[in-house]
Structure 1
Amino acid sequence: AFLGVLSRQINVDLMMSVGIIGAAAIGEFTSSMLVVFFMSIAHYLEEFTVTRSRNAIRELIKLAPETARIKLDGREIEVSVKELKSGDIVIVRPGEKIPVDGLVITGSSPVNQASITGESIPVEKHTGNDVFAATMNGGGYLEIKAAKVGEDTTYGKIIKLVEEAEAHKAPIQKFADGFTTYFLPSALSFALITYLISGKAIYAVAVLVAACPCAVGLATPLSVIASVGSSAKKGLLIKGGLYLEALAKVDCVVMDKTGTVTFGKPQVTDVIVVSGQHNPPNPPLIKGGEGGLEEILRLAASVERHSEHAIASAIIERAEMEGISIPEPKDFKYIIGRGITGSVEGKNITLGNQRLFEEKGITISDNEREKAQKLEAEGKTILFVAVDSKIAGIIAVADVLRDEVPLSVEELKKIGIKRLILLTGDNERVASAIAKRLGITEFKANLLPEDKIKIVKELQAEGYKVCMIGDGVNDAPALAQSDVGIAMGVAGTDVAIEASHVALMRDDWSQVPHAIMVGRNTYKIIRQGIALSITWDIITMGLASVGILSPVMAAALEELPTIAVAANASRLLMNTFKPNN
């Protein structure tokens, strides 16, 4: 109260002090002491509820190890994590926590990355793989070259952003702050009017005690801390109340294609032999002799062996995955925009598009053209394979759709998202095919990064609250322009974490509708808390002004909305909404 007077602010403690002094002045010493008692309980409850809500953040902080072993001059030395620096060789034994972001240089082990990605299934780590601080080493010995330490690690940035989240105040918090500012002087005036009308100082004191908007001020920070902390533990990083409220109001979702709804890496999806054999997407190939699926893939991988093109990498990777030995090609020649030719084990191999085959005079039957057109209609890139100038097969390559995306898009529709739009730099044919598989009708093709920003602005001008989903790097400008920018799979990517408003630490689309529902649930609970507190204050002040509530009763009853708001906000700590279940 004294600090409030010094800063020329009317706060809750000042009003309670006036009430306590007023009660003592009119001889109500028992009431005065009981008001002090109940207000002490109120302060304890506030501290307890805030502490409980911050437990999620504390649990995150506890995940980091305090000490680490480093390799120095052939010896193992245990040091404080604070003493680690980039370039140190860190030793991590089975069952220990990894203290740095870095690169595995020796050993292999399953690592539980739940503290970063929220995914509890351990990920196998081998030499050359990245690892993150605060993750748990499984059953193997690892030597890690430190790349980032302390606050610079992905885990350190998560902690920092979660701790700063409360500073990004939602508009509804600004309302609560403004209400408290104007409500307290109004309550003082009402208490004075009560005294002038009734002539009883005890009634005015009771009004002052009843006019405690503590729960109004607690509703938003408690809910924000609870949601941000519990979400961070599940790999969903929300940067404060401002974006929680924005998530609650989202009614339009726009999504980038490459690397967001797809893996961003071409894969072989189909291999067709001219005899008619066909394997659907990504099963093991049928092993066989010449002319079989295995042989078609072997010959194609051979002529592409020294190519750095993404499609070549997809063919080679698929052949290696199937355990196919890739022979060395001879006399290979790249034909820009068409394909490649070469010799493999004495056979002349031609691999490319229809235009190349027409130029080479290689006949493609109507049946094979029809098969190729069907695959192209699905948004796939087609390569014909010929052996000694005779067509032998067709290989289809595509950027594969993430398995969980169609189900998550359907969930977005169920929760009331009005518009879903696919954005891509690919052509209309590919965009149309992907949109159809996603189950959405709107798509924009042949886009440059600046075009995506323009589309977001146009949607906002139409009155939509836009959520943009991207990879967080190429889409950074569009993410920043949107009301809520969600970046996918940002673990270890500083640019993505900084560019987005909401960051998904793993590539899991089911977290997108989950994030929107977290925002809606949080916003709903905040509004419930504020409405309850304001209503309760008005009722108790009214009852106090006519003598129904004594100062003691008013002080006791003022704790009820605080308890109710805290209990309601605590439900967010146990948020188990899983849209795909």
Structure 2
Amino acid sequence: MTIVRRYLIPIVSGGLIALSWLLGLLPYPPLVASAAMVAAAAVAGFPIARTAGRALRGRVVGIDLLVTVAAVGALVLGEYWEAAAVTFLFAIGHALETATLNRTRSALTALVALAPDVALVLRNNEQLEVPAGSVQTGETVLVKNGARVPVDGTVQQGTGTLDEASITGESRPAEKGAGDRVFAGTISTGGFLQVLATEVGAATTLAHIVHRVEEAQEATAPTQVFMDRFSAWYTPGILVLFIVVGLVTGDVFLALTLLVIGCPGALVISIPVAIVAGIGRAAQLGILIKGGEFLETSARITVVAVDKTGTLTRGRPAVTDVVVLNPDLTRSEVLDWAARAEAGSEHPLAGAIVQAAAREGSSGPVTLPEHITSVPGHGIVASVAGRSVLIGNPALLRTHTIAGTDAATTVADELAARGRTPLIVVLDGVIAGVLAVADEVRADAPDMVAALHAAGVARVVMLTGDGPVVAQAVGAEVGIDEVWSSVLPEDKLDVVAGLRRDGHVVAMVGDGVNDAPALATADIGIAMGAAGSAVAVETADIALMGDNLLMLPAAIDLARRTVRVMHQNVALALVTVALLLAGVLFGGVTMAVGMLVHEASVLIVIVNAMRLLRRASSESHVKSVEESEKSENTEMMNR
């Protein structure tokens, strides 16, 4: 019924035109056929005239007014077919335009449809199905296999998997257990979860995303502002041309034809339709772009500044190397003794060692040491199960009588040169081995840098508070063009501001909180892993909902493609109008033919923009990273 209602006016108008032609072939007075043609013009033209009237009351001279004047003029001149053809073609073009524009907004429509209508809650130990909007914060929501999560919350009990593609853009289901976050609109693909509701209704992440996409698609880009100003002068100019040509040539029908041909329909729609499609496609990928202005600016990015910790790296230390130097010990035994000693340490790296030992199968529960002495800046000395364990740097070894320190120091220096923190393990005065702990570089970080260069970014800059050795090692491993080390959070702002003063269009990538000053200073502030963070969604110029680093080059590539489509559309619209005007003046293009070409150009502009909704080659890398992450996680479990 919706399709019939959308095309009802052109169907009725087209039927009357066909009836007029049929009556013209039958032995009826010409007046009868003309009446049918006038009726066709009236049916299709009335909504156009009504829209023109409303626009005039708002002091806007638009395309509808041009078509209305042309149709009325044709009727007055007795050119009933021309009047009917112009209004019919405009009506069918409008219907097609509405249909295709709805298609470009499909991403937003799909997001809205994700919000479930009902929720299964646990009240007084009973399972009750209630409207999703009535769930209160603090209630327990039950999520069964195949159900949509109705709230944002934390898993209290149960295990399962959720399809979070609608929020993060990741197609691989995420495993959930006690303590994990879940988001409204995601779908259970297995298991049973009891979720404590923390955000409901308009406070959920999905609601924030829908709100942001709605605002973004309505926002006006700089190019659109220019086109609006251009149209504000162009449309009245066409009216003046109509009057001048009519007075000079005395051919009112020629002037009316110019009026119709000069309609800047494709020009007016060329920018908005591309912006809507581009932002909609980004939302499908889990990339939220604040509006057309930021989409255009992103297409001009020349430098991307990236925070190291939590962006290029995982943001948590992990044991990367275990070098055994005592042939009487195994790798697991070295880790085990280190973990037993570190179990009583407050050092940030202690947890990484304890976790590594647990993954590799410790000989038993890691218990606290009987005695532990912390040596600031050097390491620790502990008594574990009656044995002495030292863990620290070469300086710690020099304060004790330890044999074979040269070999351990050499290994430690080699690990440090690779950007890792070495810890020498000594058991009962004998070197046991050397551990290396580092904030591991993410597997997709080098691919991200390469993809940024492929997307047209000239330089990728890394900002970190780490020392030069670690920073340079990470930068070399990832392929960074420029490394800024020992940078405090407030210094990052100065680096970004300096890059902008040098004439670069700078994007700053961070977590949206610690890097807030630099994000605000950059031309484009990009928040990584913004799922569940309403602040990041609302404040960042671009929010990447997932932790997939390859979303970043995909976002920039999409922005560049969107701007290219905008330029193509504008060029097509201007060339079409210019050729049609020349055709009317010198080539005998009729009003009906001109309107047909005009409406065709409008549809071509829309179809060109709809290409943005298709999956691009750059987006294939976004999906492929899931396999590398999966293998990386498997490798970590096997260590």
Does the alignment reach a TM-score above 0.5?
yes
Please give the per-residue CA displacement for 1:464-486, whole angstroms capped at 9, x wherever unaligned: 11111112221122122212222
In 1, the alpha carbon distance for the partners of 2:472 and 2:536 equals 28
2:578 to 534, 538, 561: 538
1:443 aligned counterpart, secondary structure: strand
Percent pairwise identity: 38
Query: Aligned partners of 1:168 and 1:435: how far apart in 2?
Result: 38
Taking the aligned partners of 1:189 and 1:207, their CA distance within structure 2 comes to: 11
CA displacement at 1:302 relative to structure 2: 0.8
Q: Name the aligned partner's letter for residue 303 of structure 1.
A: A
Partner of 1:319: 357
- Equivalent position SS for 2:389: strand
Q: Give the letter for the 2:522 counterpart.
A: S
Would you say the 8 A contact 2:155–2:182 is kept in 1? yes
Q: Deviations over 1:65-86 (max 9, x none)?
A: 1100111111111111111121
Cα distance in 2 between the residues matched to 1:226 and 1:294: 55
Q: In the alignment, does 2:412 pair up with 1:372?
A: yes
The one-letter code sitting in structure 1 at the alignment partner of 2:505 is K
1:76-98 CA deviation, whole Å, 9 max, x = no partner? 11111111121111111111111
Give the deviation of 1:30 after TM superposition. Answer: 2.2
- Return closer, same or farther for 1:511/1:427 CA change in 2, 3 Å cut-off: same
- Counterpart Cα distance in 2 of 1:25 and 1:248: 50
For the pair 1:141 / 2:181, whether they are aligned, the reply is no
Q: How far off is 1:359 after superposition?
A: 2.0
Q: Distance in 1 between matches of 2:158 and 2:319?
A: 31
Aligned to 1:208: 259
What is the CA deviation profile of residues 494-514 of structure 1, one whole-angstrom value per residue up to 9, with x for unaligned ones? 232233211111111111111
Are residue 37 (structure 1) and residue 88 (structure 2) matched?
A: yes
Runs of 4+ with >6 A deviation: none
Amino acid at match of 1:24: L
Equivalent in the alignment of 1:527: 567
Letter of the aligned partner of 1:309 in structure 2? H
* Mapped contact 1:114–1:235 kept (Cα < 8 A): yes
Deviation at 1:299, TM superposition (A): 1.0
Q: Is the 8 A contact 1:65 1:134 kept in 2?
A: yes
The 5 A counterparts of 1:78-93 are: 78-93=129-144
1:389 lines up with 2:440 in the alignment = no
| Structure 2 Cα separation of the partners of residues 331 and 473 of structure 1 | 39
The match for 2:600 is 560
The residue aligned with 2:40 is none
User: In the aligned structure 2, how far is the partner of 1:577 from the partner of 1:482?
Assistant: 28
Give the conservation status (yes or no) of the 8 Å contact 1:357–1:363. Answer: no
For residues 278-318 of structure 1, the C-alpha deviation after alignment (integer angstroms, 9 at most, x for no partner) is xxxxxxxxxxxx52211111111111113343200110111
Q: What are the Cα deviations for residues 138-170 of structure 1, in whole angstroms up to 9, with x where unaligned?
A: 221211110001221111111111111123322
Given candidates 3, 8, 12, the residue that maps to 2:63 is 12
For the 8 Å contact 1:476–1:500, the answer to whether it is kept is no
Deviation at 1:174, TM superposition (A): 1.1
SS at match of 1:490: coil
Q: Deviation of residue 452 (structure 1)?
A: 1.0
Once the 2 structures are TM-superposed, how far is the Cα of residue 363 of structure 1 from its aligned partner?
4.4
| Distance 1:291-1:547 versus aligned 2 partners, 3 A rule | closer
Contact 1:479 1:499 in 2 (8 A): no
Q: Identify if the C-alpha distance between structure 1 residues 233 and 416 changes in structure 2 by more than 3 Å, giving closer, same or farther.
A: closer
1:165-192 deviations in Å (ceiling 9; x for gaps): 1233221111221121111011112222
Give CA-to-partner distance per residue, 1:202-247, whole Å, 9 cap, x none: 0110011011111122122212222222221222222221121112
Distance 1:162 1:416 in 2: 26
CA contact 2:319–2:438 (8 Å) conserved in 1: yes
The answer to whether the 8 A contact 1:202-1:550 is kept is no
Q: Report if aligned partners of 2:326, 2:431 keep a CA contact under 8 Å in 1.
A: no
For 1:41 and 1:315, locate their aligned partners in 2 and report how far apart those are by CA, in whole Å.
70
How many angstroms apart in 1 are the aligned matches of 2:567 and 2:193?
A: 50
Other-structure match for 1:301: 339
Distance 1:306 1:51 in 2: 62
Alignment deviations for residues 240-296 of structure 1 (CA, whole Å, 9 cap, x no partner):
2112111211111111100000001000001112147xxxxxxxxxxxxx5221111
Q: Distance in 2 between matches of 1:42 and 1:130?
A: 47
SS, match of residue 30 in structure 1: helix
| SS of residue in 1 equivalent to 2:128 | strand
Alignment of structure 1 residues 91-110 onto 2, 5 Å: 91-110=142-161
Write the letter of the residue equivalent to 1:237.
L
| Match 1:515 to one of 548, 551, 555 | 555
Contact persistence 1:15–1:208 (CA under 8 A):
yes
Work out which of the residue numbers 591, 594, 597 in structure 2 matches 1:551: 591
Q: Determine the structure 1 residue equivalent to 2:179.
A: 128
Give the secondary-structure state (helix, strand or coil) at the position aligned to 1:212: coil
Aligned twin of 1:347: 387
Q: Relative to 1, partners in 2 of residues 1:70 and 1:78: Cα closer, same or farther, differing over 3 Å?
A: same
Partner of residue 76 from structure 1, selected from 116, 127, 132: 127
* Residue in 2 that maps onto 1:67: 118
1:373 Cα deviation after fit:
0.8
**3-state SS of the aligned residue for 1:516?**
helix
1:283 match: none
Q: Which has the higher helix share?
A: 2
> 2-side partners of 1:494 and 1:456: how far apart?
25
Q: Which moved more, 1:392-401 or 1:319-328?
A: 319-328
**AA of the residue aligned to 1:301:** A
Secondary structure of the residue aligned to 1:492 is: coil
Q: How much has 1:193 moved relative to structure 2? A: 2.2
Q: Deviations over 1:428-469 (max 9, x none)?
A: 111111111112241111111221111111111111111111
Give 1:398's aligned amino acid: A
Mean Cα displacement is larger for which, 197-206 or 5-14?
A: 5-14
1:169 and 1:433 mapped to 2: Cα distance? 43
Distance, in Å, in 2 between the alignment partners of 1:294 and 1:528 is: 62
Residues 159, 308 of structure 1: alpha-carbon distance in 2 compared, 3 angstrom cutoff: farther
The C-alpha deviation readout for 1:369-390, integer Å capped at 9, x for no partner, is: 2211111011111111111222
Larger Rg: 2
Q: Which residue of structure 2 lines up, in the alignment, with residue 153 of structure 1?
A: 204
Residue 158 of structure 1 contacts residue 237 of structure 1 at CA under 8 Å; is this kept in 2?
yes
Write the distance in 2 (CA, Å) between the matches of 1:79 and 1:487: 35
Partner residue, 1:287: none
Q: Which moved more, 1:293-302 or 1:40-49?
A: 40-49
- The structural deviation recorded for 1:547 is 6.7
Distance 2:512 2:576 in 1: 45
- Where does residue 194 of structure 1 map in the other structure? 245
| Counterparts of residues 147-546 of structure 1 (less than 5 Å) | 147-275=198-326, 291-324=329-362, 325=364, 326-546=366-586
- Mapped to 1, the partners of 2:454 and 2:582 lie a distance apart of 44
**Cα displacement (A) at 1:535:** 1.4
* Higher RCO (CA 8 Å, separation ≥ 6 residues): 1
Cα distance, 1:406 vs. partner? 0.7
Paired positions, count: 568
How far apart in 2 are the matches of 1:181 and 1:535? 19
| Contact kept in structure 1, 2:459 and 2:481, CA below 8 Å | no
Per-residue deviation, 1:537: 1.1
1:547-579 CA-partner distances (Å, limit 9, x unpaired): 712222222221111111111111111133336
Q: What is the root-mean-square deviation of aligned Cα atoms in Å?
A: 1.6
Deviation, structure 1 residue 407: 1.7
1:389-424 Cα deviation digits (max 9, x unpaired): 222111110010000111221222233321111110
User: Does structure 2 retain, via aligned residues, the 8 Å contact 1:341–1:351?
Assistant: yes
Question: Equivalents in 2 of 1:413, 1:138: separation in Å?
Answer: 37
One-letter code aligned to 2:539: A
